[in-house]
Amino acid sequence: MVRGMDFFRIPWHSEQNHDKHEKLHAPVGKFLRHAIFGMNDGLVSTLALMAGLVGAAMGKEVILIAGFAEMMAGAISMSLGTYISTKSQLEFYGEEIEKEKKDLECSPQMEKEHVREIYRRKGFVGKELDNVVKRLTSNKKRWLNILVNEELGLNNSKMENAVIAGIVMFFAFIFGAFVPLSSFVFVPMDFALKTAIASSLLLLFFVGAGKTHFTGRSWIKSGFEMVLVGALATGVAYYLGEFASKYVSVLI
């Protein structure tokens, strides 16, 4: 007999695990890497540029012009690159699936053996294996799905929309780049870089922590991992800019 507390506990845990599973496999997860990559690249590259220009003792107008140019050029370049690479990947997947269809039509016995080998490695043997193979290959659509998923490692969860991926990358880059750039727009020059660094690193931490909603990793570790990358890039760019400024002034 189930006790009162256990009666309520069992469905709750089941629902919690189901929700976690759904989050990890949500459609938005397909574009998560583009959003994270775009935001991180826009923020870090722009912050590094700002730091390098401040280190080189450039004026506010130069920094803002360079920052806006970097933001727009970077967003366009990254979004088009994402669109082309995603489209190329989809074309490759489509070609592989077509090849598998032709093989299924031309060499069904060989493709049946492929299914047999796949399920033999999964632990099926003897009559049980024969029954599984017979059942799976009795329907060509199901048979093709098995070959595509198991043999080629392709499935619908990996199929992204190239246009959406490019759009996500564009706006993620813009958003990331605007965070450090806005400090030079709204904050006095003496405090602009410090404000840009503080706001950027804080955002990097929250983004790193937030993505664990989908990845299931430790939010503290993920957050500080992104902060470390941003801080490293900023520090290197600042001192390179400072070094370049002094070196060029000596040459001139």
pLDDT digits (tens, 9 = 90+) for 178-227: 999 999 999 998 899 899 988 988 888 887 777 666 666 777 888 888 88
Residue 216 Rama label (left phi>0; alpha psi -120 to 50; beta): left
pLDDT at 4 over 60: no
Q: Residue 171 and residue 153: Cα distance in Å, rounded?
A: 31
- Model confidence pLDDT, tens digit, residues 228-238: 887 887 788 77
Question: Which pTM value belongs to this model?
Answer: 0.71
Range of the structural domain that residue 168 is part of: 30-251
Q: Residue 104 and residue 160: Cα distance in Å, rounded?
A: 26
Query: Is 65 domain-assigned?
Result: yes
Instruction: Considering only residues 78 and 101, tell me which one the structure prediction assigns the higher pLDDT.
Output: 78
Q: Residue 77 and residue 53: Cα distance in Å, rounded?
A: 22
Query: Locate tokens 């080629």: which residue?
Result: 152
Q: What pLDDT sits at residue 195? A: 92
Query: Is 173 domain-assigned?
Result: yes
Question: What are residue 157's phi and psi, to 5 degrees?
Answer: -65, -20
Q: What pLDDT sits at residue 204? A: 84
Query: Is 12 domain-assigned?
Result: no
Helices then strands, counting H and E runs in the chain, come out as 10, 0
Q: What pLDDT sits at residue 214? A: 60
Q: What pLDDT sits at residue 201? A: 87
Contacts of 60 (CB under 8 A, 6+ apart): 184, 189, 192
Query: Is 99 domain-assigned?
Result: yes
Q: Residue 138 and residue 146: Cα distance in Å, rounded?
A: 12
pLDDT at 84 over 50: yes
Query: Is 10 domain-assigned?
Result: no
* Overall domain count for the chain: 1
Q: What is the chain's percent helix, strand, coil content, to nearest 5?
A: 90, 0, 10
pLDDT at 91 over 60: yes
- Report yes or no: 152 and 61 within 8 Å, Cβ to Cβ: no
Amino acid (one-letter) located at 42: G
Dihedral of CA atoms 9, 13, 15, 16 in degrees, nearest 10, equals 130
Contacts of 87 (CB under 8 A, 6+ apart): 162
Instruction: Considering only residues 19 and 79, tell me which one the structure prediction assigns the higher pLDDT.
Output: 79
Query: Is 161 domain-assigned?
Result: yes
